[in-house]
Structure 1
Amino acid sequence: MNGDLFKNLDWDDFRLVKAIADARGLPRAALQLGVNHSTVFRRLGQIEEALGTVLFERHRTGYAPTPAGEEMVALAERLSEDITTFTRKLAGREVTPAGELRVTTNDSLLIYLLTPLFARFRRQCPDVRLDIVLSNEALNLSKRDADVAIRATDAPPDNLVGRRAARIAWALYGRTADFPDPDEIDQAALFDRPWVSLGDNLTGLQAVKFVRDHVPPEKIAYKVSSVLGVAEAVEAGLGIGHLPCFIGDTRPGLTRLAPPQAAYAADLWLLTHPDLRHAARVRLFLDFLSAEIGKERHRLEGTLQSHLAPMQANSPA
């Protein structure tokens, strides 16, 4: 397509065409852009008229870009990447700690660890506004879906930089009412009890693999795709299950049934994009969190005294 044809178009036109291509239709594209369906329809007609070419073929299954449409979508993607790179680099050059900081983490870390730390940070840096995005998925920091990611993982993405703040320990827990005397726990008999497990979406966790490999399927009474959901289920008496110690140890209705297993532990990482690591608000936030999380290390690493016998990984399935 001749570049001269683009001279009467602006960035919003490229965004609209890309949105239609991504959504494969007008209603979802309109929702994505925050306008109504008729506006998208009218603007697409104006753009095609200005270019003198059809950008989409209309099928029953949706809108499919023509070769000209594919070329315009590709250009829109390059423009979007260039704009994102430019704004990210500008953000990385800021001098004073101010502005919005978008942070992604999961609900269990937010509720049981981070919210009080965020409150302390805000008291220290009131000019930095925190926008917290709860997700168990890895957001794209390169596209600035978030500025900082706080994640429990042993394999942080190669394209991010950061620091390991602590090691999160996991242990097996049961309802306190069901185990009134921790000295009398029969480890072998635990496999005859109902179990609670994280869902199949978290099979990368060693604790989930243990349950899958060593607990008979008929004994897995309850699965849930949230760590907090496991804690609630165990405390409600649905079964026994593995939890991070910083969650299980703080709930009076739960009792450790075995000491933390080193193989189940995961590193807690504070991550950002290389272009943002020198930004004042990012650098100050990471330094602050690293120091504050260090004060909570004993809780995260589950280093409470325990006389429980370790659970055998080779217990019969």
Structure 2
Amino acid sequence: MPTTTSSVAWDDFRLIKAIAEARSLPAAAELIGLNHSTVFRRLGQIEESLGTRLFERHRSGYVPTPAGEEMAVLAERLETDIAGFTRRLAGREILPAGELRVTTNDTLLVELLTPLFATFMRQCPEIKLDVLLGNQALNLSKRDADVAIRATDNPPENLIGRRAAQIGWALYGRSVDFPDSTPQAEESLRDRPWISLGDQFGAFKVVQHVQKIVPAERVVYKINTVLGLTEAVEAGIGIGYLPCFIADKRPALHRLGPPQAGYAADLWLLTHPDLRHSPRVRLFLDFMAQELAKLRPLMEGSPAGREDTEAPSPAEA
């Protein structure tokens, strides 16, 4: 009788299929490239392991029992499936599937990434996105996330990726407060109420700049979210530096000067080195890099990007 630990390997299925087709051990041995004695011995071992006879020995040859016939049919099906898999692999027809965990912050998600994620999922319906919001660095080594999309000048050294674009920052105020479209000199605006990201963002060049050129008493409002910063400028609390890809899409906001190159932040697509060849990760990174490249004028605050917002709009890894 077979034991609960009995197992049959693929080579065993091949051997049974060959005997069923050839009806003799010498012919079966020739089909699969073994000698006659090896086929005889392996057949006995397989029947002993399964606890049943797979062939009846007749003068006309080896005739499969019902169990042997079933095993031969299954072997044929497995062989067909394996051949089909090999063809699809050679033709790059295998589609990545499964869950992909992506971490980013609320600003990028709301103002930039959600439409791109939607397009990606329409094109790759077998991939499900699990989006994790937060500014803290998740541990990609422990699979807290598979991909991180971050605006940073110093991506973690243990991650690899590509710089997708630069995020331009410029000074903005309410359009109603600045009906004249003429750019404003920063020096002439220092006595106005100002808004800034909080001191916890002191590593940001634009925050350092505001701290340097604006009297502390004129900074009347600080907040720890870029979305909140944008809302505050739009509400008329004060003027402040904002990412161009957010502010240029809001008619209620008026750009007071050109983007400041020194305050731009790099937008990175990052993953762990062990995940770089994962089909899901690779496909997602390539897609996002391609789509974000199309949005570079908007993100950088170039004139072409501003024109696009006025019309209806639908490190190397």
Deviation at residue 201 of structure 1 after TM alignment: 1.5
| Residue 96 (structure 1) shift | 4.5
What CA deviation, in whole Å up to 9, does each residue of 1:196-222 have, x standing for no partner?
A: 000112111111001111111110010
TM-score of the pair, normalised by structure 2: 0.65
Structure 1 residues 184 and 212 mapped into 2: Cα distance closer, same or farther (>3 Å)? closer
**Which residue matches 1:225?**
224
Hey, what does 1:215 align to over in structure 2? 214
Total equivalences in the alignment: 212
Residue in 2 aligned with 1:239? Answer: 238
Shift of 1:111: 1.0
Q: Which residue in 2 is equivalent to 1:121?
A: 120
Aligned-pair RMSD on alpha carbons?
1.4
Residue 291 to residue 184, structure 1, CA distance change in 2 (3 Å): closer
Once residues 260 and 270 of structure 2 are traced to their aligned partners in structure 1, the CA distance between those partners, rounded to angstroms, is 26
Q: Are 1:164 and 2:202 counterparts? A: no
Distance (whole Å) between structure 1 residues aligned to residue 120 and residue 282 of structure 2: 13
Residues 68-217 of structure 1 aligned to structure 2 (within 5 Å)? 96-183=95-182, 185-217=184-216
2:289 corresponding residue in structure 1 = 290
Match for residue 249 of structure 1? 248
Verify the 8 A CA contact 2:185 2:257 in the aligned structure 1: no
Q: CA deviation at 1:108?
A: 1.1
Whichever residue aligns with residue 155 of structure 1, its letter is N
**What percent of counterpart residues are identical?**
65
Measured after TM superposition, the shift of residue 101 of structure 1 is 0.5
Question: What secondary structure does 1:130 align onto?
Answer: strand
Report Cα offsets for 1:28-79 as digits up to 9, x if no partner. xxxxxxxxxxxxxxxxxxxxxxxxxxxxxxxxxxxxxxxxxxxxxxxxxxxx
Confirm or deny: 8 A CA contact 1:171 1:258 kept in the other structure. Answer: yes
1:179 and 1:185 in contact (8 A); partners too: no
What residue identity is the alignment partner of 1:168? I
Matches within 5 A, 1:269-288: 269-288=268-287
- Paired residues of 1:197 and 1:242 also in contact (CA < 8 A): yes
CA contact (8 A) 2:98 2:127 kept: yes
Per-residue deviation, 1:184: 6.8
Moved over 4 A (4+): none
Aligned counterpart, 1:65: none
1:123 partner SS = helix
Query: What whole-Å deviation, never above 9, does each CA across 1:110-153 have from its counterpart, x for those lacking one?
Result: 11110000000000111110011111111111111111000011
| Residue of structure 2 in register with 1:66 after alignment | none
Q: Distance in 1 between matches of 2:280 and 2:266?
A: 24
* SS at structure 1 position matched to 2:301: coil
CA distance in 1 between counterparts of 2:284 and 2:304 reads: 32
Question: After superposition, what is the alpha-carbon deviation per residue over 1:283-309, rounded to whole angstroms, capped at 9, x for unaligned?
Answer: 000000000001101101111179xxx
Question: By how many angstroms is 1:182 displaced?
Answer: 2.2
Look at both structures and tell me which one has the larger radius of gyration over its CA atoms.
Answer: 2
